[in-house]
Amino acid sequence: MSARSAVRALPTLLRVGFAEALAYRTEMLVWILSTTMPLVMLALWSAVAREAPVGRLGQRDLVAYFLAMFVVRQLTGSWSVWLINMEIREGTLALRLLRPIHPLVSYAASSFAEIPVRGLLAIPVAGTALVVLAGDRLARDPVIWAVWVLAILGGWLITLLVNFAIGFLALLVESSTKIMDVWLALYFVFSGYLIPVELFPPWIRSAVEAMPFRYQLGLPVELMTGAHDRAAAFGLLGRQWLVVLASGALVAIVWRRGLRRFAAYGG
């Protein structure tokens, strides 16, 4: 499939993905409800900060952080790994391979098309609460917001590509969902999802900054809440996109090796 064919097919793939997301809106709502942990952490950290700031973060800073985290989570999420595992197990991946569109393109389009549905269901309420309760803690520099848009795209791509890499491991092993469970456990701890990265002890933070998890969630939230100046923002964005490239290379390796061993298991 040529790049030109993929580009021509994208609008149709996005429309189909959006229609599927609307058709399964109940499942989408369940997914959104399963990502409300930042709101739980907001209540816990706010209670801690009521007496005194936690590091440099006061109560309003934590409100801004965790409401922003909820918004970013909706914009960067993907659950492709479970769909890929199911299609490999049932043998329906073979049908995708027969189509003129590369399976990675169709999976990516479906994942991307889900974002507006999650946004319509969750972001208006969370965004309004963020502006009303802690609007003064948001970044004011338009350049930082431009970097934030690229960081959101980068965070989504890392999440998607990790889903692809782990999902297509199911071509080599019976199931890769347990590997994804381990990844998610690390992701929840080290991405800033439960604990702002800056609150880790220095020796742990150095390790966290070398991991991909922060660049999935923590970086966009930090930019959104004005934690970095322009120089730091551009530097961190560059690191994030190196992670994107490394994730893409990993997907290419797993896909090529897995496809050699692919066989349909019924269905």
Q: Domain coordinates of the chain in residue numbers? A: 3-260
pLDDT of residue 22: 53
Highest mean pLDDT among 115-124, 128-137, 199-208, 227-236: 227-236
Long-range (24+ apart) CB contacts under 8 A made by 20-23 are 20/110, 20/113, 21/113, 21/114, 21/116, 21/117, 22/117
Mean pLDDT value across residues 220-243: 95
Distance (Å) of CA 107 to CA 12, 79, 119, 220: 13, 10, 19, 24
140 exposed, middle or buried (CB, 10 Å; 0-12, 13-18, 19+)? exposed
Give the residue from 73, 30, 88 showing the smallest Cα distance to 184: 73
Q: Which residues pair with 148 in a beta bridge?
A: none
Residue 213 tokens, joined:
């998890």
Instruction: Quote the Cα angle for 28-30-31, to 5°.
Output: 65
> What does the pLDDT average to over 212-220?
95
CB burial string 164-200: b at 16+ within 10 A, e below: bbbbbbbbeeeebeebbeebeeebeebbbbbbbbbeb
Q: Read off the pTM.
A: 0.86
- Looking at residue 100, its pLDDT comes to 78
CA distance 8 to 4: 6
Mean pLDDT of 176-201: 91
Helix (H, G, I), strand (E, B) or coil at 24: coil
| Mean pLDDT of the chain, nearest integer | 83
Query: What CA–CA distance (Å, rounded) separates 163 from 175?
Result: 13
Residue 19 and residue 160: Cα distance in Å, rounded? Answer: 20
Q: What does DSSP assign to residue 135?
A: G
Average pLDDT over residues 15-36: 57
> Which letter does DSSP use for residue 54 in this model?
B
Q: What is the pLDDT of residue 120?
A: 74
CA dist., res. 58 & res. 199, Å (int): 12
Q: What is the pLDDT, as a whole number, of residue 59?
A: 85
Cβ distance 227 to 140 under 8 Å? Answer: no
CB-side neighbour CA atoms (13 Å) of 257: 13
